Amino acid sequence: MNAPTDPAHLVPTVAQRTVPAALIDALRERFGAQLSTAQAVREQHGRDESPFAVPPPAAVVFAESTQDVADAVALAARHAVPVIPFGAGSSIEGQLLAVQGGISIDVNRLNRVLAVHAENLTVTVQPGVTRKQLNEELRHQGLFFPIDPGADASIGGMASTRASGTNAVRYGTMRENVLALEIVTAAGEVVRTGTLARKSSAGYDLTRLIVGSEGTLGVVTEVSLRVYPLPEAISAAVCSFPSIEAAVRTTIAVIQVGVPIARVELLDANTVRMVNAHSKLGLREEPMLLMEFHGSPTGVKEQAELVQELAADHGGNDFEWAHTPEERTRLWTARHNAYFAGVQSRPGCRVVTTDVCVPIARLADAVLLAVAEAEAAGLPYFLVGHVGDGNFHMGYLIDPASDAERTVAERLNHALVERAIAAGGTCTGEHGIGLHKMAFLPAEAGAGAVELMRTIKRALDPQNIMNPGKIFAL
């Protein structure tokens, strides 16, 4: 792998394309007050949770309908100008940045839950609906949508990055839970993919081609999802361990014996300390698994007993239970806020986040080496992991003014990714490639596979206007 660790080289140097005044005029005529070229608006749409600084888009269209998106894309296509979809702005790897210039299409006003088919366990939503908003609307019908990246991301963005989160070990990721899409193609045409049936063998799986394509093949304008009955019983427990290794080995055993655990999250002692400080909790400051069990009352009890036994085999302490829904919510909110707890632990810092995912049997080695290297480098970090999937995140807390710290963080990430790929894993379990991981993709997927991706991109987007410069260089 020749991924550069020098921060100056992290953003591919591609010329900004010109956004002609004629396009801005045409957009203004079509969209009126739905178009903004105000500096503040452009800047807000020109940054995400990634550390990159690139010029903002030339204009922002606030789409209020699929037709708005189609018209914006069609106008941009006429001038060969890039379009970048914008949802919650919570992407991590630079997915939203206008590296080649262009216009941003903000889908936040497309925020309606269009249909809840409770009897089919499916919903159809607009792309600006966020995961929390969806769950608010589902709760009173006894349903929930399990995919939960840390941020309150938009469903369109979650589809585009193939997001997952803490529940993926039991319920899968966006890959498994998106049934159908409506997209706007590079030609500005509206196309539907998939059906509301659970399964289909009808032709190419366009739905899963678009899921995870990070806006490079089309703009997602509607998403149909699987949803689930709220479990009859839910119980959450915390278990602390004498070492990270013991916690990880317990997780591996849980997965290997096939316990249908809903969530199993790892925090190291360091991160528990940050979470305690941030969320005012009194968790034991030791390596910890945070677990949740879904099922019938006896099923949940049985799962928990089995996992407690496996934990005890590895020196784990007795489970501490979150008994009430409120206690459970508090615990999971604290877990979801681990990122912010990390940031708060070093005021003014920025986070360089890693996202490797490895086959489960390789997880202990991957985590232990990552921690040892971070300790040796002396860089502050947090460690959280969706360990049931083999996925974990090191968050290196760097001084944004220090190129040296950035370089160290990128070097650590690089080493981590290299080992994950060698172990049969991936450089990104759930954040996507964006800009930040582009250099890793050829090492992971191989030149042949990347060339297939490029061929598909060129065929579906011949002018390279759909979020260009992401995932791979053309």
Tell which positions 21-50 bind a copy of itself, by CB under 8 A: none
Query: What is the size of the binding site for a copy of itself (CB under 8 A)?
Result: 92
Cβ nearer to a copy of itself, comparing 113 with 121: 121
Dihedral sign for Cα 157, 159, 165, 171, please: positive
Minimum CB distance to a copy of itself, residue 293 (Å): 12
Which of 206/269 has CB closer to a copy of itself?
A: 206
Question: Which one of the spans 78-86, 131-139, 405-413, 446-454 is the region binding a copy of itself (CB under 8 A)?
Answer: 446-454
Q: Which residue from 59, 153, 255, 291 is in contact with a copy of itself, where contact means CB under 8 A?
A: 255
Does position 163 interact with a copy of itself (CB under 8 A)? The reply is: yes
Using rule CB under 8 A, residue 176 touches a copy of itself: yes
Q: Does residue 106 sit in helix, strand or coil? A: strand
Is residue 221 within 8 Å of 210, Cβ to Cβ? no
Single out the segment in contact with a copy of itself by CB under 8 A; choices: 283-291, 340-348, 355-363, 369-377: 355-363
Q: Is residue 203 a contact point for a copy of itself (CB under 8 A)?
A: yes
Residues near 361 by Cβ (< 8 Å), separated by ≥ 6? 252
Minimum separation from the CB atom of position 298 to a copy of itself (A): 6
Asked if residue 360 binds a copy of itself (CB under 8 A), the reply is: yes
Q: How far apart, in Å, do the first and last CA atoms of the chain sit?
A: 19
Q: At which residue do the structure tokens 């590079």 appear?
A: 186
Site for a copy of itself in 381-440 (CB under 8 A): 389-391, 420-421, 424-433, 437, 440
The residue type found at 168 is A
List, in sequence order, every beta strand (DSSP E) within 107-210: 113-117, 122-125, 143-144, 178-184, 190-194
Question: Of 9, 139, 323, 458, which lies in the binding site for a copy of itself, with binding defined by CB under 8 A?
Answer: 458
Residue placing its CB nearer to a copy of itself in the complex, 191 or 377: 191
CB of 211 to a copy of itself, least distance (A): 7
* Closest to 466 in 3D by CA, of 219, 207, 263, 144: 219
Task: For residue 200, state whether it binds a copy of itself (rule: CB under 8 A).
Answer: yes
Strands 59-62 and 103-106: parallel
Q: What does the alpha-carbon distance between residue 160 and residue 143 come to, in Å, rounded to a whole number?
A: 23
Quick one: which segment of 80-88, 188-196, 318-326, 342-350 binds a copy of itself (CB under 8 A)?
A: 188-196
DSSP class per residue in 189-247: -EEEEE-SSS---SS--HHHHHTTSTTSS-EEEEEEEE-EEPPSEEEEEEEE-SSHHHH
Residues numbered 267-326 forming contacts with a copy of itself, rule: CB under 8 A: 295-296, 298-299, 302
Which range, of 7-15, 32-40, 59-67, 190-198, touches a copy of itself by CB under 8 A? 190-198
